[in-house]
Structure 1
Amino acid sequence: MSMQPLRYLQAYPQHLQDQVRQLIAEERLGEYLEKRYPGRHEVQSDKALYAYAMQLKQEHMRNAPAVDKVLYDNKLDVVQRALGLNTAISRVQGGKLKAKKEIRVASLFKEAAPEFLQMILVHELAHLRERDHNKAFYQLCEYMLPSYHQLEFDLRVYLTWRELG
């Protein structure tokens, strides 16, 4: 099997990469994804995205810091490996320093399966508690979304498929 690097899957075991390469070679990768994730979500506006994120936060992370803004971002580039961003923007208001927390989601997820959007939001919400991608971070992601690791892998497969054009 040709050993073209699969940029989004490099951290995964060789046998999984080979399975993806096999699907690419047989031109069946899109079919595989469509069968596993046939739906498209309705979360198309920033307002709807914020409401969805707050619903997830309320369900799993009531005590986590508040989020001021959740929006789709056209500038987030998969090439920069940023599918979502969690930022705190500090502003001076009167004599106080206020930090506004924002979650930005790459606009390509407007067209994605609902499971992928949920996975990205769970990932970004988990950063409210755990800044680093450590064991506690991934345990929190799994708690919020039990299929988190499978969805992260499949999302990377989806990005690979998108890149093939």
Structure 2
Amino acid sequence: MTALKYLQAYPAALQDRVRDLIARQRLGEHLAQRYPARHDVQSDRALYGYTMDLKQRHLKNAPGIDKVLYDSKLDVVRNALGLHTAISRVQGSKLKAKKEIRVAALFKAAPPEFLQMIVVHELAHLKEYEHNKAFYQLCTYMLPDYHQLEFDLRVYLTWRELPSNDTNDARG
């Protein structure tokens, strides 16, 4: 039986459906049919603009963001698809905090829905630090199909790690 590290928290029936697609070598095709496009947010500057647009639409009163960038060092294995940090620095007699959002660089080549899900997730951390009920309610407020996209993103990550995948399928 194939271990599905990104899908361990999901019901066995869903995991079995993914295993079946893997066994039939159809997972990449399945993803490509569901998500046929790739986004065009390729630079850090474009990612910053994209993120600020989402923030302006959904979280006008949330704290500002100083930096948004793609990070090739984020470790997907540790589920760090994105990272929200506040870096505090002393400037004179004041403590200044700079808020940053980093998105794993592998999402440069991902479907636009997955990039949006990651950015929404990181933006939600501006208001809710923990992954609690309020956090996920905020995510679904900004992106109503958030939970489905999170599941599909985990399927995408599973597909990317298959030894037989063809990165031309599923827009990866």
Q: TM-score range by the shorter chain?
A: over 0.9
Match of residue 11 from structure 2: 13
Equivalent residue of 1:164, what SS?
coil
Match of residue 166 from structure 2: none
Deviation digits for residues 83-139 of structure 1 (CA, Å, limit 9, x no counterpart) = 000000011112211000000000000000000000000000000000000000000
Offset, 1:4:
2.2
Cα distance in 2, alignment partners of residues 95 and 141 from structure 1: 36
Give me the TM-score of the superposition, normalised by structure 2.
0.94
Offset, 1:44:
0.3
Equivalent residue of 2:161, what SS?
helix
Equivalent residue of 2:30, what SS?
helix
Which segments of 5 or more consecutive residues in structure 2 lack a partner in the other structure?
164-172
| 2:76 counterpart (75, 78, 102) | 78
- Matched length: 163
Q: Establish whether residue 50 from structure 1 lines up as the match of residue 55 from structure 2.
A: no
Match of residue 167 from structure 2: none
Paired residues for 1:34-113 under 5 Å: 34-113=32-111
Deviation digits for residues 72-93 of structure 1 (CA, Å, limit 9, x no counterpart) = 0010011121000000001111
Structure with more relative contact order (C-alpha pairs < 8 Å, separation 6 or more): 2
Match of residue 22 from structure 1: 20
Which segments of 5 or more consecutive residues in structure 1 lack a partner in the other structure?
none
Match of residue 130 from structure 1: 128
Cα distance in 2, alignment partners of residues 54 and 94 from structure 1: 29
Give me the TM-score of the superposition, normalised by structure 1.
0.97
Q: Pairwise CA RMSD of aligned residues?
A: 0.6
Cα distance in 2, alignment partners of residues 42 and 95 from structure 1: 43
